[in-house]
């Protein structure tokens, strides 16, 4: 990519100008000297340092600053308890995945984490092991099974597993016009740490792109599409809570997921089964179905962060 032409030279062109700019940065940094909370002081001075570096490096114009403020204002206006434009913004800028990377350092063969997304809802229905989470959502049936264990391979009975996904039209239930709950549920692993359930085979869908974040993606020529996935949140007193998804091997969006959520270890074989193939639990299924195995390993509850 080439640097676009700009009237001003870079920040170091004029020594007097450079010292005026640096002086301002120093004065703003100093204004946090009496902050009583050291962590807050660190967060604020780090933010100021990087923000000023950015403004000086790109030689931000006043018109661009005004448009940025307008963009953030519109992100606020479209946000409510069902739509969170700031999470979307964080996601498409890779900030969510970077925060996950910093906070979920690799531990042995523990399953990797990925982006939470804005569509988790507290209070999902509980289904029995082997039950169906679809709740009427349209899509090809998918049998999902696996285990939850710790990093020593010890099964974790009673682990709570929350799962949620979009339907075949690419919509989560919270995006429906009515209050239906569909394609989300929770259950617990059995005495041997095993779980199984029916879901729907994940399909690709766009993140909500009818707001300012969608406008930005369009302006920079980026797609709003997410690779097909099924969300999991797994918790157990003995382990670090894991927020992750599994992705579908062969999906052509694996390399262009708009929120940078794909990790190779999370790409799984969703084996397509011909119509009439016997199902694992004897359930009668009209048409094709798929099956996938996902064995989950939780890191210990307290892992020392890498600094």
Q: In angstroms, rounded to a whole number, what is the distance separating the alpha carbons of residues 275 and 288?
A: 4
Name the residue nearer to ligand BEZ (CB basis): 231 or 240.
231
Q: By CB under 6 A, name the binding residues for ligand BEZ.
A: 88, 91, 115, 117-119, 207, 226, 259
Tokens (6 digits) for 240? 């670090």
Place of tokens 């600053």: 65
Q: In angstroms, rounded to a whole number, what is the distance separating the alpha carbons of residues 95 and 101?
A: 10
Quick one: what does residue 207 bind among ligand BEZ, Fe ion, none, with the CB cut-off 5 to 8 Å set by partner type? ligand BEZ
- Shortest Cβ distance from residue 117 to Fe ion (Å)? 5
- Shortest Cβ distance from residue 237 to ligand BEZ (Å)? 27
**Cβ density class 172-199: b for 16+ within 10 Å, e for less:** bbbeeeeeebbbbbbbebeeebebbbbb
Quick one: what does residue 118 bind among ligand BEZ, Fe ion, none, with the CB cut-off 5 to 8 Å set by partner type? ligand BEZ
Helix, strand, or coil (residue 178):
coil
- Shortest Cβ distance from residue 184 to Fe ion (Å)? 11
Quick one: what does residue 115 bind among Fe ion, ligand BEZ, none, with the CB cut-off 5 to 8 Å set by partner type? ligand BEZ
Quick one: what does residue 259 bind among Fe ion, ligand BEZ, none, with the CB cut-off 5 to 8 Å set by partner type? ligand BEZ
- Shortest Cβ distance from residue 276 to Fe ion (Å)? 31
Q: By CB under 5 A, name the binding residues for Fe ion.
A: 117
Q: In angstroms, rounded to a whole number, what is the distance separating the alpha carbons of residues 304 and 79?
A: 35
Evaluate whether 148 touches 296 at the Cβ level (below 8 Å): yes
Name the residue nearer to Fe ion (CB basis): 144 or 156.
144
């Amino acid at each position: 990519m080439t640097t676009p032409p700009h009237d001003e030279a870079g920040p170091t062109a004029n020594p007097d100008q450079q010292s005026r700019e640096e002086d301002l940065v120093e004065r703003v940094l100093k204004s946090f000297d009496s902050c009583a909370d050291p962590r807050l002081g660190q967060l604020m001075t780090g933010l100021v340092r990087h923000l000023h570096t950015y403004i000086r490096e790109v030689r931000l114009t006043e018109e661009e600053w005004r448009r940025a403020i307008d963009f953030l204002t519109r992100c606020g206006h479209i946000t409510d308890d069902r739509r969170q434009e700031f999470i979307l913004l964080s996601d498409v800028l890779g900030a969510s995945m970077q925060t996950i990377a910093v906070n979920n350092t690799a531990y042995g063969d523990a399953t990797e984490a990925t982006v939470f997304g804005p569509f988790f809802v507290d209070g999902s229905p509980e289904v029995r092991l082997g039950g169906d989470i679809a709740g009427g959502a349209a899509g090809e049936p998918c049998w999902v099974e696996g285990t939850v264990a710790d990093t020593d391979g010890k099964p974790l009975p009673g682990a709570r597993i929350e799962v949620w996904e979009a339907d075949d039209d690419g919509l989560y239930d919270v995006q429906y016009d009515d209050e239906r709950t569909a394609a989300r549920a929770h259950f617990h692993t059995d005495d041997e740490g095993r779980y199984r359930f029916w879901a729907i085979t994940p399909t690709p869908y766009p993140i909500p792109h009818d707001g300012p974040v969608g406008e930005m993606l369009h302006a920079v020529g980026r797609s709003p599409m997410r690779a097909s996935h099924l969300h999991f949140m797994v918790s157990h007193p003995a382990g670090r809570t894991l927020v992750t998804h599994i992705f579908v091997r062969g999906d052509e969006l694996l390399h262009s997921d708009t929120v940078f959520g794909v990790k190779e270890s999370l790409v799984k074989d969703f084996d397509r089964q011909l119509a009439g193939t016997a199902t694992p639990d004897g359930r009668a299924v009209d048409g094709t179905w798929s099956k996938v195995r996902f064995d989950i390993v939780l890191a210990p509850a307290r892992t020392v962060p890498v600094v």
